[in-house]
């Protein structure tokens, strides 16, 4: 028999012994009156009063005729004090049959121990659920990354920092909704299963729609649907959506991720940038109590205004390269190569510039910065409108924090002919794995879309910034993992 089986058997035996005492156990309902954090925060008001708490046994210290335990609930940990005199022999025996990891309910009086820790002197105790498997070690916790992700519940039980990351993430999403709702934005839901995918540059997941016997794609963005709603007169819409991209994973890419997109009629990209910087700093302030964050080894301040740097200025400043004076593609490729940026000979101008920006500019964008005014022939500029008087420049921006791109926004292209031509050109160039032209979207534009500004923000990445973690997987409760044979639970 393995050690694990022995542990399980011992715990099952103790459960039977406990049940044999005939005291209440394993009720269908318990009904705690307080969380641990509340009791600690409001100690003065609660001292001496009776409370009911419930949680998981995290530590146990038996001392003959008395004992201490810590339980963990959604508000953190609180200490329980068990005394033979108070509980009586039967209930004290009941307590002694508990294991680390068991879920218990307790009723007792709030007091402070000699060392000043807020505790509960327990008068009544009930086992709510038995843990047949042992908890990770109490001092070092659980640090194996694979186990932390595959069995996230253990990570949440064992590691305070993990609970804090997800508190931050949830609070941030709530803050974003509150912010947009206050500005009159309407939250909507658009299709996840799409017959034509679009709105971003990515390979989709493909599946089959039985009812229509057609191929559909899991959305890579919701942009094109949200702008149809702008055409429909909704004026201010947003969606917080799970998007899916069938591509490689990295510290900042997850195949399944959460994106905020919002669109505002009669606005341009300057309006949207002002809202983005205000929204993100407002949310940081409400979630963390400060706009200063520590991320990827940098201390940065999210307070507005953020810097705005055009692509041309950025390359002049950090790459000593004036792209506006270099018209010849070959010359530009040479200049790129001289700066250590190698591109294939047939690479388009926009892509060469994109490579230059990635290699030479991004690392400098430490303080919150909007990179603005991208060349129109960037693939990523497909849905962005040309600048007035500068048909070669798209009114597009990307927010950066500590060198990481957080999103992508523009003055939306609302001219159907230009949009169609650009989609067809791109379609022609990209060959395999390209999106089809979305004719239904073109038709929507032909009905007239007001001048509109919009943006997509990676929520997981914003959570990384707020929580100060270096991997997107730390901000996703169940990050995608390669399937693995898991041991079946014994019945």
Partner RNA sequence: GGGGGUGUAGCUCAGCCGGUAGAGCAUCGGACUUUUAAUCCGUGUGUCGUGGGUUCGAGUCCCACCGCCCUCACCA
Of 105 and 199, nearer to RNA (C-beta) is: 199
Taking the complex as a whole, how short is the minimal distance between the CB of residue 475 and RNA, in angstroms?
12
Residues in 233-272 that interact with RNA by CB under 7 A: 245, 247-251, 253
Distance CA 305, CA 284 (A): 15
Give the C-alpha separation, 409 to 373, whole Å: 11
User: Does residue 386 bind RNA (CB under 7 A)?
Assistant: no
Binding of RNA by 473 (CB under 7 A): yes
**Residue window 15-54: x/- pattern of binding to RNA, with contact defined by CB under 7 A:** ----------------------------------------
For residue 46, the minimal CB distance to RNA (Å) is 16
Q: In the complex, what is the shortest distance from the CB of residue 252 to RNA, in angstroms, rounded to a whole number? A: 9
Between 186 and 426, name the residue whose CB sits nearer to RNA. Answer: 426
Residue 212 Cβ vs RNA, minimum distance, rounded to whole Å: 21
**Residues 77-95 as b or e (16 or more Cβ within 10 Å = b):** bbbbbbeeebbeeebbebb
What is the nearest approach in angstroms of RNA to the Cβ of residue 302? 23
Residue 61 sits in the site that holds RNA (CB under 7 A)? yes
Judge residue 122's burial from the number of C-beta atoms within 10 Å of its C-beta, 0-12 exposed, 13-18 middle, 19 or more buried.
buried
Nearer to RNA, 215 or 430 (CB): 430
Element (H, E) at 269: helix 269-288
Considering the complex, state which of residue 180 and residue 465 has its C-beta at the smaller distance from RNA. Answer: 465
Q: How far apart are the first and last CA of the chain?
A: 17
Q: How far is the CB of 281 from RNA (least distance, A)?
A: 27
Cross-strand partners of 237: 186, 263
When binding is defined by CB under 7 A, the residue of 105, 108, 198, 454 that contacts RNA is 198
In whole angstroms, the minimum distance from the beta carbon of 392 to RNA comes to: 17
CA angle (117, 118, 119) in 5-degree steps: 105
Nearer Cβ to RNA, position 81 or 238? 81
Closest approach, Cβ 405 to RNA, in A, equals 10
Buried b (16+ CB within 10 A) or exposed e, 286-297: ebbeebebebbe
Residues in CB range of 220: below 8 A, 6 or more apart: 197, 198, 199, 200, 202, 204, 243, 244, 245
Work out whether 490 is an interface residue with RNA (CB under 7 A): no
Out of 22, 31, 48, 64, the residue judged to bind RNA by CB under 7 A: 64
250, 276 contact by CB (below 8 A):
no
Query: Interaction with RNA in 406-425: which residues (CB under 7 A)?
Result: 423
String marking each residue 108-147 x if it binds RNA according to CB under 7 A: ---x-xxxxx-x-x-----------xxxxxxxxxxxxxxx
Alpha-carbon distance of 97 to 60, in angstroms, equals: 11
The closest alpha carbon to 98, from 10, 15, 40, belongs to 15
Is 4 a binder of RNA (CB under 7 A)?
A: yes
Query: If binding is defined by CB under 7 A, does position 74 make contact with RNA?
Result: no
Question: Binding to RNA (CB under 7 A): which residues in 426-455?
Answer: 426-427, 430, 434-436
What is the token pair recorded at 55? 């949680």
Verify binding: residue 338, RNA, rule CB under 7 A: no
The reply on whether position 84 binds RNA by CB under 7 A is yes
- Are 228 and 446 in contact by the 8 Å Cβ rule? The answer is no
Does 486 interact with RNA (rule: CB under 7 A)? Answer: no
We find the least distance from the C-beta atom of residue 378 to RNA, in angstroms, to be 7
What is the residue-wise DSSP string for 120-138?
A: EEEEEEEEEE---SPPPPT
- Please state the closest distance from residue 65 (CB atom) to RNA, in A: 3
Residue 134 vs 451, nearer CB to RNA: 134
User: Applying CB under 7 A, which of residues 124, 149, 192, 446 lies at the interface with RNA?
Assistant: 149
Q: How many residues bind RNA (CB under 7 A)?
A: 79
Which token pair is 63? 């001392």
Name the DSSP letter for residue 255.
S
């Amino acid at each position: 028999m393995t050690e694990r089986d022995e542990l399980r058997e011992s715990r099952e035996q103790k459960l039977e012994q406990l049940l044999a005492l005939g005291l209440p156990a394993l009720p269908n309902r318990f009904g705690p009156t307080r969380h641990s954090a509340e009791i600690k925060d409001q100690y003065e008001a609660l001292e001496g009063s009776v409370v009911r708490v419930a949680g998981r046994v995290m530590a146990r210290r038996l001392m003959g005729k008395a004992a201490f335990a810590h339980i963990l609930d959604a508000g953190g940990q609180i200490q329980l004090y068990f005394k033979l005199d108070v509980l009586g022999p039967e209930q004290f025996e009941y307590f002694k049959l508990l294991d680390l990891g068991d879920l218990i309910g307790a009723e007792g009086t709030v007091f402070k121990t000699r060392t000043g820790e807020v505790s509960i002197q327990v008068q009544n105790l009930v086992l709510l659920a038995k843990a047949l498997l042992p908890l990770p070690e109490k001092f070092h916790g659980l640090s194996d990354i694979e186990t932390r992700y595959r069995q996230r519940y253990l990570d949440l039980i064992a590691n305070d920092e993990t609970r804090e990351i997800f508190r931050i993430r949830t609070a941030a999403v709530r803050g974003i909704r509150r912010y947009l709702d206050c500005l009159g934005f309407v939250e909507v839901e658009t299709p996840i299963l799409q017959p034509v995918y679009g709105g971003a540059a990515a390979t989709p997941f493909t599946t089959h729609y039985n009812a229509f016997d057609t191929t559909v794609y899991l959305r890579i963005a919701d942009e094109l649907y949200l702008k149809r709603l702008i055409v429909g007169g909704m004026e201010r819409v947003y969606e917080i959506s799970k998007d899916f991209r069938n591509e490689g994973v990295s510290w900042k890419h997850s195949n399944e991720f959460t994106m905020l997109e919002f669109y505002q009629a009669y606005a341009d990209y300057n309006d949207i940038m002002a809202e983005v910087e205000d929204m993100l700093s407002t949310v940081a302030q409400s979630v963390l109590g400060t706009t200063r964050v520590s991320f990827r080894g940098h201390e940065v301040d999210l307070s507005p205004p953020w810097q705005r740097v055009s692509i041309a200025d950025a390359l002049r400043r950090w790459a000593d390269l004036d792209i506006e004076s270099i018209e010849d593609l070959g010359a530009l490729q040479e200049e790129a190569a001289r700066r250590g940026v190698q591109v294939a000979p047939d690479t388009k101008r926009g892509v060469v510039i994109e490579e230059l920006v990635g290699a030479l500019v991004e690392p400098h964008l430490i303080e919150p910065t909007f990179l603005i005014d991208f060349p129109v022939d960037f693939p990523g500029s497909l849905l962005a409108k040309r600048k007035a008087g500068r048909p070669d420049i798209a009114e597009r921006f990307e927010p950066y924090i500590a060198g990481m791109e957080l999103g992508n926004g523009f003055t939306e292209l609302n001219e159907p002919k230009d949009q169609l031509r650009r989609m067809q050109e791109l379609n022609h160039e990209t060959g395999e794995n390209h999106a089809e032209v979305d004719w239904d979207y073109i038709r929507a534009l032909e009905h007239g879309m007001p001048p509109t500004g919009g943006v997509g923000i990676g929520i997981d990445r914003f959570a990384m910034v707020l929580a100060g973690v270096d991997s997107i997987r730390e901000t996703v409760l169940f990050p995608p993992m390669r399937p693995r044979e898991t041991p079946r639970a014994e019945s």
